Structure 1
Amino acid sequence: MDLPRSFVIRERDHRIHNPFTAAKLATLGRALRLRPGTTLLDLACGSGEMLCQWSHAHGVTGTGVDISTVFVDAARARAVELGVAGRVAFVHGDAATYTAEVEVDVAACVGATWIGGGVAGTIGLLERALRPGGLLLIGEPFWRVDPPDEATVTACHATAREDFHDLPGLVALFGRLGFDLVEMVLADEDSWDRYVAAQWLSVRRWLDAHPDDELAGELRAELDTAPLRYVRYQRPHLGWGVFALMRR
């Protein structure tokens, strides 16, 4: 049970596996008014930067769960680096089936709503671990501009236009599911660049070091097309944000 090697190669140098900078993550932590002792469950936590950074800055405690052995190891190392290893823990496992032992103040799935088959299903997974009156955090893409054709949809990693809402549609969905939207921090073009463009350098350096690897041909072909595909399609059309919700 692990992520494909190609994904890990692309994002091996990332601390945040979403189009979010450290500054935006810090802004979100301040916006949520986190207090020492706040408990957090982060499903599909990646390299654990959100939990580690917020534990360091705000005294948050909690658990992160991720399917990648590489990212979980990185999260544990980051916790030691920031001096918070006694307050946070990271579990290698399937976030879709993880069962929390106790209810938490904040339950998050930032950028991986596929674990619940979409926004609604993922909210259902998170609510199982959330104390009454707690916060849900959902990180989700949305259309900044309506995609004009199928090429744009495909280049934005969607199987159909309906895979993503526009921003008003996403906010309306939260309401239909019975939640108040109480905070949000959105990605901008710079944070998208830092997430996506950083992958190109990671891939290129990996290719230089592993020219005979079985994945070299696939990743070389990807690097030939990825930058133009990103600036032509994804950068102008796709948004992303983290949304804080509370049950009505």
Structure 2
Amino acid sequence: MDIPRSFTIRESGHRIHNPLDGTKVALLGEVLRLTPGSHMLDLACGSGEMLCTWARDHGLTGTGVDLSATFLAGAKARAAELGVADRVGFVHGDAAGHVADEPVDIAACIGAAWIGDGVPGTVDLLRRNLRPGGLLLIGHPFWRLDPPDQAAVEGSHATSRDEYLPLPELVEQFGGLGCDVVEMVLADQDSWDRYAAAQWLNTRRWLDENPDDELAPAMRAELDTEPARYVRYQREYLGWGVFALMDR
């Protein structure tokens, strides 16, 4: 049970597997006014950077769940590096359907709404883990600009225009699910660049070291086209943010 190896290759140098950079992750922790001793569940936590740094900076405890054994090894190493290994733990498993033994103060899914088959199902899954009055965090894409054609849609890694909503409609969707939007931190083009462009360097270095790997032709073809596709489409049309919600 693991994620596709191509994803691990692309993001092998990443601590944060989404378009928020470290400064924005820190900002999110600050604006949420996190309370020491609060317990957080991070579903599809990746390399655990948010959980580990918030444990260090805000005194949280918590658990991260992810399918990637590689990323979780990095998360455990990061927890030890930051001196929080006694306060955070990581579970190798499928975050879809995961329900904690006890309700938590903060339930998060940052950039992996497929675990609930979309935003409504992911909000419902997070609610099942949350104590009354707790914070629900969801990271999700939205259209910055209306894509003019199917090429722009597919160039933004979507299959159809309906796959994402414009930002106002996404915020309205949260309201329709019975949530108050109480904070948000959005990626900007620079933090998108840091996320996307780092994948190209990771891929190139992997190709140099593994020219005979069975994945090498596909990764080579991806690197040939991905930078231009990103700057032509995704950078212009697709936004991304983390939204803090509370049940009404």
Give the Cα separation in 2 of the matches to 1:119 and 1:146.
Answer: 20
Residue-pair matches, total:
248
SS class of match (1:211)? coil
Matched to 1:144, the amino acid is R
Q: Partner amino acid for 1:44?
A: A
Structure 1 alignment gaps of length 5 or more: none
Using the alignment, how far apart are the partners of 1:51 and 1:154 within structure 2? 32
| Paired position in structure 2 for 1:215 | 215
Distance in 2 (alpha carbons) for counterparts of 1:4 and 1:129: 27
- 1:43-54 superposed matches below 5 A: 43-54=43-54
Q: Give the CA RMSD over aligned residues.
A: 0.5
Shift of 1:159: 1.2
Amino acid in the other structure paired with 1:210: N
Q: TM-score, normalised by structure 2?
A: 0.99
Shift of residue 105 of structure 1?
Answer: 0.5
SS in 2 for 1:226: helix
CA offset digits 1:124-171 (Å, max 9, x no partner)? 110111000000000000000000010111111111100100000000
- Matched with 1:243 is 243
Give 1:245's aligned amino acid. L
Per the alignment, residue 56 of structure 1 pairs with 56
**Which deviates more from structure 2 when the two are superposed, residues 151-160 or residues 38-47?**
151-160
Q: Secondary structure at the match of 1:165?
A: coil
Which structure 1 residue ranges, 4+ long, deviate > 2 Å from structure 2? none
- Matches of 2:118 and 2:159 in 1, distance apart? 13
Alignment TM-score, normalising by the size of structure 1: 0.99
**Structure 2 unaligned blocks of 5 or more:** none
Aligned partners of 2:97 and 2:116 also within 8 Å: no
| AA at the equivalent of 2:91 | V
User: Map of 1:88-237 to 2, 5 A cutoff?
Assistant: 88-237=88-237
Distance across 2 between alignment mates of 1:133 and 1:83: 29
Which residue of structure 1 aligns with residue 17 of structure 2?
Answer: 17
1:77 aligns with 2:72: no
Identity of aligned pairs, percent?
A: 68
Displacement of 1:97 in angstroms is 2.5
- Report the 3-state secondary structure (helix = DSSP H, G, I; strand = E; otherwise coil) of the residue aligned with 2:224: helix
The one-letter amino acid of 1:201's match is L
Amino acid at match of 1:131: R
Residue 7 of structure 2 aligns with an amino acid whose one-letter code is F
- Alignment deviations for residues 170-214 of structure 1 (CA, whole Å, 9 cap, x no partner): 000011111100000000000000000000000000000000100
Paired amino acid for 2:144: R
Specify the SS of the correspondent of 1:182: strand
